[in-house]
Amino acid sequence: MYMQSLYVLGARKFVVFSIPRLGCAPGVVNSANPKPAIPWAEDVNSLLLVYNTRLPSMITNLQRDSFGSTFVPGDAYGLKQKFSEAGINTVQIPCCQVRADGMCVPDSTPCLDRTQFIFYDAIRATDVAYKAVADACFSGFITCAPLNIQQLAQKQ
């Protein structure tokens, strides 16, 4: 496991994020067969929730087995509220016209205001979406808890 390798190299402070709701990504929704009746692929999100539900116990085991380390869980699955708080309103539509593989059509013009979109193409998030997550985890207490990154960095 990568975190154990990092631990051996001297890392002692970790933030471990859950997997986000990939079933809400336009590329996943558009490739679902049959097409979902709701604007996301709930079967994909349900599978991710199984992993995410088990993640806290995995983090507890890692911390127990890694003397002197601190592992902080980060919630990437429940980010919808963080995006709306950041003013990102367009959830299901990518910022650019996409090809069949989900990437932007070359030489096409992307949306003018990327701050309103979660997804740049059919899979990847926009910078403003990543910034909302980073801000929430750096100084907030909902996305990363019981410590935020600022507190984790100051921890001895």
CA–CA separation, 112 and 57 (whole Å) = 43
Given a cut of 70, whether residue 89 has pLDDT beyond it is: no
Q: Indicate whether 121 pLDDT > 80.
A: yes
**Rounded to whole angstroms, how far apart are CA atoms 74 and 37?**
30
| pLDDT over 80 (residue 108) | yes
The conformation of residue 90, written as its DSSP 8-state character, comes to B
d(CA 89, CA 77): 17
Q: What domains can be seen in the chain, in order of their start residue?
A: 2-154 (3.40.50.1110)
Average pLDDT rounded to a whole number, residues 1-11: 87
Number of other CB atoms surrounding residue 57 within 10 Å: 9
- Which tens digit of pLDDT belongs to each residue from 10-30? 999 999 999 988 888 888 888
In 3-state terms, what secondary structure has residue 73?
strand
Residue type, 121: D
- Dist. CA 26–CA 39, nearest whole Å: 9
Residue 90, both tokens: 């367009």
Torsion over CA of 76, 81, 86 and 88, rounded to 10 degrees? 90
φ/ψ (deg, to 5) at 62:
-60, -45
pLDDT band with cut points at 50, 70 and 90 for residue 82: low
Per-residue pLDDT tens digits for 38-57: 777 889 989 999 999 999 99
Q: What is the pLDDT confidence band of residue 90, given thresholds at 50, 70 and 90?
A: low
